[in-house]
Structure 1
Amino acid sequence: MAASQYLHAVHPEALSDKPFSQVPKNARVKQQLCEVRVPPHAIAELKRLIQTARLGPETFENSQPEPNAKYGLTSSWMKEAVLAWTDVSVFNWARVQDHINNAPHFTCEVEYEGHSYTVHYVALFSNRSDAVPLVNIHGWPGCFLEFLPLMNLLQQKYTPDTLPCHFIVPSMPGYTFSSGPSTDRDFSTLDVSRIFQILLRQLGFDDTQYVVAGGDVGSRVARALAVEDPACSAIHLNFCFDLNMHGFPRENLNAQETGRLETLDEFMKTGVGYGQMHATRPATIGFVLSSNPVALLAWIGEKFATWTDKTPPLATILTFITVYWLTDTFPRSIYPYRADFASSDEVPSHGNPRWRIPDGKPFGFSDFPKEILPVPRGWVERTGRVTFWREHQEGGHFAALEVPEMMLEDLEKFVGHVRAEGKIRAER
């Protein structure tokens, strides 16, 4: 379960040359600074596979004017994306790689239940002694790339001496450059949360308490940390739904909330086929999408094109697909979906009282109107005592990618709220 071959250690003498890369002095275990370096032959091989792949015939469904939630991608969208993927003037991997490396990358070894995991993360570490650790957890088909726009904003706004938080984005096991789940036992988001607990303790963030934030699958990992880890002082979410919440009360809702639930119900009827495949035939779909990068583009590209309020630029979508392809992320990453269709007390769930956020911990939520599974505030409040709520007029499922300024403002205001509540015990 070694780290990706494309992640290379940076020599110690380079540490002082990269801003925001100074690991907190109370870290207990070595954190290895790294860079992403993909050799030209790997990109050339990817382009060869793209160019030799066959697109299916045009049909009524894929001949719609634009990608949509009813039928999915269009033939014209796929043709444009395939051409762009091999056109250096549109998608230049060398330039993309430099952008990815603009944020410091790290790895750390974590021992968990008899296995050694290499956990990858990107981070902006502050030099301030009172910096608040802010841990951001992605979902599927996201990865650390979702948070690079926020990190770019932070790098423009602060220096290492003024940054008020340690901004940390770990890659869940199986995603991008983190080790995959063990192959000799089942694995769930509870395991992810416990691996992250160990990582954060190794960084010294049990003495210096941390704040956790998450969306999509990452919202469940974040919930588990908030419930189980005393060092987690507060939680912020922008997603809060599981299948067992479908029966929550629907009385006394306003028109806007009723409309949101109509969106949720429609997605549950027509939009979850991909998730059922992940949950019930993960090995099969893993082989299918590992066989051809264009197949992977169709499967994941559809989510970015139809789950968003503001569709990301094509080059951004292709960056996600390229990283997924190079690191064999897809088949290693879909384990969280089994819990969607076979819930258990042992797997973090928003609708299960076992995983209610403790009342003493600040609980924040950012509401974006084009979320694929939006829920009323009253439903979120059944899962914990909400102390911070922000509603927006734009943004969808990938809010950090679509509206990074809004998401960053919410996170900074939430950390300020947590400080005001006196819930942060930071080194000074």
Structure 2
Amino acid sequence: MKPSIEPFAIHVADAALDDLAERLQRTRWSEAELVDDGSQGVPLAWMRNICEHWLEHYDWRSREARINAWPQFRTEIDGLGIHFLHVRSPESNATPLLMTHGWPGSIVEFLKVLGPLTDPRAHGCDPADAFEVICPSLPGYGFSDKPSETGWSVERIARAWAQLMARLGHERYLAQGGDWGSMVTTALSKLDPEHCAGIHLNMALATPTQEDMAQLTEGERAALTRMEHYRKHDSGYAKLQATRPQTLGYGLTDSPVGQAAWILEKFWSWVDHDGSGPDAVISRDELLDNVMLYWLPATAASSARLYWESLRNFDREPVTAPTAVSVFPGEIFRPSRHWVERRYLDLRYFNEPERGGHFAAFEQPELFVQELRAACRCMR
């Protein structure tokens, strides 16, 4: 019997929203940080303002309707229910495009780009650039099921994504990703080369060789300095999620402020903003939409387990698939074209946009769409 694909819409019970409000009202706050540079974490004053907005002004029902305005589905793959957006294009020759988020992101990162990507004609652009977009929620994230056994690594997710695209009837497709989505997308290009015709990454993992270190450009030195800062001062979350995701999950699942702070600290660090906070670039409602996709389905532990499964086994082998790379200025690590070309052997496109950070589609949707269109023209 052919596996079923069932329409899906988010319907959160009133009791869950009442429980959230009560927990927010009863928050026991810590004292303020002792520095003014963010080095101890997300600032107390900013965090309290965000949570006051969450309690007093944020309207989940309108945000729920915003997400439900896009077609959503669920299907079982490898024993796990997978939730995904599937937005078709009015253009008959639209290219299937699989887009994968990472942590601490979700499908809401892509909501602002779905219209321009699927219907460029309606946005004053070339209809030849139309895509049919599929955005799955990673296993253990959002409204996908939580794995009940170990083994859901990046490679297993990539195999599931290949099955998803086959189930949707796509003989040829392109794939895109950042963060964990970049790693899943790269793995997919290796596991399904007959159907995955090319990939676009906004976080390419490509590092210098010993020979490179002797002749670094100014930009490459800056990239290594930023990576060293990440390693020393900004990567504790990854070590904890890779080693003790279960322990971490208890506190985050119990406290909405704890869950929000754990997520928003990375937005504070990785969004390309002016120092006043990520809500200078991404609205507070949008930031909270993303938090809600962790809080409501209680995915603190299940989402963190992806680090336990895969962080110790990064694939750094060469990639032969047609590849396009966009390096946004606020990205955690900004590899040079030289480094990228060494790993991605068929590099069709490389560009460094002027604005944007780790959550590129969320932060700079117009630039992200431009990058994706230009990249995919090289791979169609």
Same fold judged by TM-score > 0.5? yes
2:166 equivalent to 1:166: no
Give the match for residue 70 of structure 2.
103
Q: CA separation of 1:380/1:131 partners in 2, compared to 1, >3 Å: closer, same or farther?
A: same
Cα offset, 1:286, TM superposition = 1.3
User: What are the residue-to-residue correspondences of 1:359-398 with 2, within 5 Å?
Assistant: 361-385=321-345, 386-398=347-359
Give the TM-score, by structure 2 length: 0.90
Deviations 1:348-392 (A, max 9, x none): 52x2x2xx222xx32100010110122222222122121111211
Q: Structure 1 pair 200/288, CA: closer, same or farther in 2 (3 Å)?
A: same
Contact 2:117 2:131 in 1 (8 A): no
TM-score by length of 1: 0.80
Contact 1:149 1:400 in 2 (8 A): yes
Secondary structure, aligned partner of 1:387: strand
Question: 2:299: which partner in 1?
Answer: 329
The structure 2 residue matched to 1:237, chosen from 194, 198, 201, is 201
Q: Give the counterpart of 1:316 among 286, 296, 311.
A: 286
- Check whether the contact 1:362–1:388 (CA below 8 A) recurs between aligned residues: no
* Pairing of 1:219-258 with structure 2 (within 5 A): 219-229=182-192, 230-241=194-205, 245=207, 249-258=212-221
| Contact 1:264 1:375 survives alignment (8 Å) | no
What's the secondary structure of 1:335's corresponding residue?
A: helix
**Aligned-partner residue type, residue 319 of structure 2:** I
What is the CA deviation profile of residues 308-338 of structure 1, one whole-angstrom value per residue up to 9, with x for unaligned ones?
1032222221111122100112211122323
2:40 aligns with: 71
Distance verdict in 2 for CA 1:285–1:179, change over 3 Å:
same
* Counterpart-to-counterpart distance in 1, 2:205 and 2:223: 12
Contact 2:190/2:319 (<8 A) preserved: yes
Quick check: 1:307–1:396 contact (8 Å CA) kept in 2? Answer: yes
Shift of 1:246: 7.0
Q: Which runs of 4+ in 1 moved over 6 A?
A: none
Aligned-pair CA distance for 1:120: 0.7
Which position in structure 1 is the counterpart of 2:374?
A: 413
Q: Which residue of 2 aligns with 1:338?
A: 308
* Structure 1, gaps ≥5 residues long: 1-27, 420-428
Partner of 1:21: none
Give the C-alpha shift of residue 393 in structure 1: 1.3
- 8 Å CA contact 2:175–2:199 kept in 1: the answer is yes
Correspondence 1:177-256 to 2 at 5 A:
177-183=143-149, 185-205=150-170, 207=171, 209-229=172-192, 230-241=194-205, 245=207, 249-256=212-219
Report how far residue 41 of structure 1 moved. Answer: 2.2
What amino acid does structure 1 have at the position aligned with 2:339? W
Matched, 1:300 2:272: no
CA contact (8 A) 2:117 2:130 kept: no
**Alpha-carbon distance between aligned partners in 2 of 1:378 and 1:156, rounded to the nearest angstrom:** 35
Q: Aligned partners of 2:151, 2:272: CA distance in 1, in Å?
A: 35
Q: Which has the higher helix share?
A: 2
Counterpart for residue 31 of structure 2: 57
CA distance in 2, matches of 1:301, 1:78: 9
Match of 1:357 in 2: 319
RMSD: 2.0
- Give per-residue Cα distances to partners, 1:175-220, cap 9 Å, x unaligned: 101111233x332111111111111111112x2x000111001111
Partner of 1:87: 56
1:394 aligned partner, one-letter code: R
Residue 125 (1) aligns with residue 92 (2) = no
Distance in 1 of aligned mates of 2:24 and 2:355: 34
Give the letter for the 1:52 counterpart: R
Paired with 1:118 and 1:277, the residues of 2 have a C-alpha distance of: 27
* Structure 2 residues not aligned, in runs of 5+: none
